[in-house]
Amino acid sequence: MASYTIPHAPGFVANDAPRIVTERFDHPDSYTLERYLATGGYEGLRAALGRTPEEVHGEVRSATLLGRGGAGFPAGVKWGFCPPGVWPRYLVVNGDESEPGTYKDRLLMELDPHQLIEGCLIACYAVGLSQCFLYIRGEMAVAQERVAQALNEAYEAGWVGRNICGTDFSVDIVLHWGAGAYVVGEETALIESLEGNRGMPRLKPPYFPAAIGLYGQPTIVNNVETLANLPWILRHGAEAFTAIGTPTSPGTRMVAVSGHVQRPGVYEITNGTTTFRDLIYGDDYCGGMHRGRELKAFVPGGGSAPWFTPAQLDLPFEASEVGPQGSMLGSGAVMVMDDTTDIPAAALTLTKFYAHESCGKCVPCREGATWLERVLRRVCDGTGTPRDLDVLFEVGASICPGDFPHAAVPERGLEPKPFPYQMTTICFVGPSAFAPVHSAMTLFPEEFEARVAPNAHLDTGPSDGPASGTGPSDGPASNSISEVAIRV
Amino acid sequence: MSFFTEENRSLAREIIGRYPRRRSAMIPLLHVAQAQAGWVSEEAMVEIAELVDTTPAEVLGTCSFYEMFKREPVGKYLVNICATMSCALAGAAELMEHAEERLGVRAGGTTPDGLFTLASAECQAACTEAPCLQVNYRYRYRVDADGFDQLVDDLAAGALDDEIPPHGVTARVRQHIPAGRAVGAVPPEAVNEPPVWIAAAASNGAGSA
C-alpha cells in the first residue's frame, strides 16, 4: 500500500513577519467556507458593500497595492484606466502562474480560494465589472478543484451570483482553465486564450486591456496575489496596509526561494524592507546556503530577471532600488546557485524554457530564442567555439538592441546597467530567453571562455556575420535534458 | 454518431452557457473531450466546432497551440518530470535518466503496455520541493530514484487510483452555478449601460468611475 504524504501547504514556511494573504495557511481546513467565515472571511466584502464603488476604489488606490504578477503596476491606478461610459466591463483573473521559480498563486488558490473569490468580488464592485473569469493554469489540477469547490459553496451561500448579501450587486465568477502555455501569462495572450484562440499576445498599443480587452470591452486583468490582498485592505483599511513595508512598496509579498539553500520555501515577507541577504541567510527564512557551500549567483525575480551575485545581497525588495542595479523583482521568485554550479548549463535550462515557450508570433523571439538555445547547448557540451560566444550576443541584440541590463561586477570595475531593456518583440518571452545568457556571460565570462577555448582552431569563417554551421539547422532538436546535467 | 457521451454533451452545453461568446468555451470543451477519451481526436474537434459555432480547422488551431492537449493516445499515466532551473539545480537530469532506465523508454515515449508516457516538462510551480514531477498533473515532491520506483510500482498496481485519475481528467470537482443564483452571460453588444449598483451609486450623487 502506498504511503504518500501530500503536505497541506507544500513549501510554505511561516515566520514572524506580518501576514496578510497567508494568515489562514496554518489551518488544515483553510480552504473551506466554514474556516473562512470563522476567520474574518467575507467581512471585507461586507465593508465594501457598505460604501460606494468610488470609495472602495479610492481605498485601494490609497493602499498603493502594487500588482504582484511581475510588472508591479499599482492596481488602483490600473482600475482607473477603464474608459468612462463604455459597458460592459470584465474582470479576468490571471492564475496562469508559470514563471520559472514562482509559486505563490498556486498556494493561494489551493489553500485560501475564498480569499481570492472575495478579492474578485471587491474589484468587480469597485469598478463596475459585470462578469469575472478566473483563469487557472491547466496543470494545476488541485487548485482547480479547490477553487471550483469554493465557488460552489459561495454560490450556494449567496456570496457570489445574483443579489449578493441582499444588495443590488450581482456578479458571476466563471472558473476557466488553461491547457499549458507559458506565454498565456501575458495579459493580452490570456485574453486571446479566454476567447478560444491560440494564446498569442496582442499588438500594442493599446497597452492596457482596460481600454480594449476581452471581446473588445474594457477589461481589468489582475494577478491572483494582487486580488487576494483586497479583503484584508477593505477589512483593516489602506492605512493599516501602508503601515507595513515602505511607502513605495507597502504591505507584504509572497516570495519563493529555491535552489541551493538550507530551507527552500515560500515566504510572506515584508515588502520594501526585507533584503536578499535576510531571505537567503536569515534564520527565519532559508537559513543560509546548503552543505556549507558559498553563494555564487542568484536570480532575483523569476527566470526572466537578470542575475545578481553576492555583491547585490543587501538590496531590499524595492523596485526603485533593484531596477537601477540591473534587474527586477518580477513575480517573487529567487533561485539560488552555489559555488559548484555549472553556470553555462544553468543558463541553458532557462533559455531552453523560453525557446520552448515562444509562441512564434514575433520573428526575433521565434528564431532568436531557438538560436540562443542551440548555440548555448553547443557551448555547454564542449563543441562550441569562441565565435559562438559572439553569436550569442549578436542574436541577443536582435531581440534587445542596445545595452542589456546587468548587475555591477566590482572586481572587474563593471558598473550596473539599469533595468529595463529595449525590445523588438511584443512581449517579454524573447528578452527573457536572452536574460540568462547575457547575465551568465557578463558575470562569469571565464566559464564560457574555458568551454570554447579548446575549439578556437575551428573558427575559420569570415569575421562579420555568423559563419556557416552556427545556425540552428546543423543538428536535430533535442528535447532530452540528459546533456544538461548541473552539478549539485 | 456523436463523440460526446450524453452526459458530456449536456456538460458542454452548461459550460458554453457561462460565456458571453460560445467560442470562449473551446479550451474547456477540449478538456472535456480529453477527459472522456484520454486524448483529443479529430472526431472530437469536429463536434466541438459545431458546439461553439466555428470550423474544425479553428479548433485544431487552438488545440495544437497548447501543450496539454494530446492529439494521439498517450499512456494512462503521463509522467511529467520538471526540467527547469530549480529542479535542474536539484538533480532533475539524474531523475530523468533514472526514469528512462526504469520505464525503458526515452522522454516522449510510451511503455508498450500503454501504462506510462514519460515526458520532460517545464516549470511546474513547486520549485522549493525540487526535483518534482506530476503524474496526470498531480504532484510528487523531492523525488529520488527509490521514490520514483515506488511510485511506478504503486501506479502499476492501481494503489493510487483514488488520488490520480487516468490521463485527461484534471479537476474532478467541477463548477456548477445553480440556476436560481446565476446572473447569466450576455453578449457584450447587448449591454450599453452600467451595472445597476454603479447606476444606483451615480444617481445617489456619489458619482461613478
User: Residues A178-221: pLDDT tens digits?
Assistant: 999 999 999 999 999 999 999 999 999 998 999 999 999 999 99
Of the pLDDT bands very low, low, confident and very high (cuts 50, 70, 90), residue A297 is: very high
**Predicted local distance difference test score (pLDDT) of residue A6:** 65
Tell me whether A258 touches chain B (CB under 8 Å).
yes
Grid-cell match 570595475, residue found:
A413
Entry field: residues in chain A:
488
In this structure, the dihedral spanned by the alpha carbons of residues A242, A248, A251 and A255, taken in order and rounded to 10 degrees, is 180
- Angle, vertex CA A311, rays to CA A308 and CA A315, nearest 5: 75
CB spacing of A128 vs B198 below 8 angstroms:
yes
Q: Region B37-49: what's the mean pLDDT?
A: 98
Q: How far apart are CA A107 and CA A115, in angstroms?
A: 12
Using CA atoms, how far apart are residues A45 and B44, in angstroms rounded to an integer?
42
The pLDDT, as a whole number, for residue B64 is 98
User: Is the pLDDT reported for residue A309 higher than 90?
Assistant: yes
Q: From the CA of B206, how many Å to the nearest CA of chain A?
A: 7
Mutation target for A interface from B142, B175, B186, B208: give the one with most A CBs within 10 A.
B175
The arithmetic mean of pLDDT across residues A26-39, rounded, is: 97
Note whether B91 contacts A488, CB cutoff 8 Å: yes
Q: How confident is the model at residue A4 (pLDDT cuts 50, 70, 90)?
A: low
Residue of A nearest to B169 (CA): A141
Segment B125-132 mean pLDDT = 96
Overall residue count recorded for chain B in this entry: 209
| Chain mean pLDDT for chain A | 93
Please tell me the CATH code under which domain A343-458 is placed.
Answer: 1.20.1440.230
Fold that domain A252-336 belongs to in CATH: Ubiquitin-like (UB roll) (3.10.20)
Reported confidence tier of residue A1, pLDDT bands at 50, 70, 90:
very low
Q: Which of B68, B106, B188 sits opposite A179 (nearest CB)?
A: B68
Q: Which tens digit of pLDDT belongs to each residue from A320-376?
A: 999 999 999 999 999 999 999 999 999 999 999 999 999 999 999 999 999 999 999
The reported pLDDT for the residue numbered A480 is 38
Amino acid making up residue B198: I
Distance from CA of A41 to the nearest CA of B (A): 20
Sheet of A295-299, strands arranged across: A265-270, A252-259, A333-338, A295-299
Chain B hits for A351, CB-CB cut-off 8 Å, are none
> A343: nearest CA in chain B?
B89
In contact, A298 and A259? CB cutoff 8 Å: yes
Query: Percent of chain B beyond pLDDT 70?
Result: 97
β-bridge mates for residue B160, sequence order: none
| pLDDT exceeds cutoff 50 at A173 | yes
What pLDDT is recorded for position B204? 82
What residue in A sits closest to B200 (Cα-Cα)? A168
Q: What is the mean pLDDT of residues B154-171?
A: 96
ipTM higher than 0.90?
yes
User: The CATH number of A33-242 is which of 3.30.1330.10, 3.90.1150.10, 3.50.50.60, 3.40.50.11540?
Assistant: 3.40.50.11540
Amino acid of residue A356: H
Chain A residues with CB under 8 Å of B149 CB are none
DSSP calls for A441-487: HHH-HHHHHHHHGGGGGG--S-SSSPPTT-STTSS------TT----
Calpha distance A110→A130 (Å, rounded):
25
Cβ distance A4 to B140 less than 8 Å, yes or no, reads yes
**CB-CB under 8 Å, A155 with B170:** no
Average pLDDT over residues A161-168: 97
Q: Residue B104: is its pLDDT beyond 60? A: yes
How many angstroms separate the CA atoms of A84 and A81, rounded? 9
| Predicted confidence (pLDDT) per residue in A244-278, tens digit | 999 999 999 999 999 999 999 999 999 999 999 99
Domain borders along chain A are 33-242, 252-336, 343-458
Domains and their CATH numbers in chain B = 6-63 (1.10.10.1590), 77-156 (3.40.30.10)
For B58-62, what is the mean pLDDT? 98
Nearest CA in chain A to B157: A1
d(CA A346, CA A380): 10
Which chain A residues contact residue B52 at CB under 8 A?
A: 196
Binary contact (B20, A215; C-beta < 8 A): yes
Q: Are A466 and A388 in contact (CB under 8 A)?
A: no
pLDDT at A145: 96
Q: Is A175 on the interface with B (CB under 8 A)?
A: yes
The reply to whether A134 touches chain B by the CB within 8 Å rule is: no
Q: Which of B18, B69, B85 sits opposite A174 (nearest CB)?
A: B18
Label residue A461 by pLDDT band (50, 70, 90).
Answer: low
A6-17 pLDDT tens trace: 678 889 999 888
Pairwise CA distance, residues B190 & A88, whole Å: 9
Q: How far is the alpha carbon of B97 from chain A, nearest alpha carbon, in Å?
A: 7
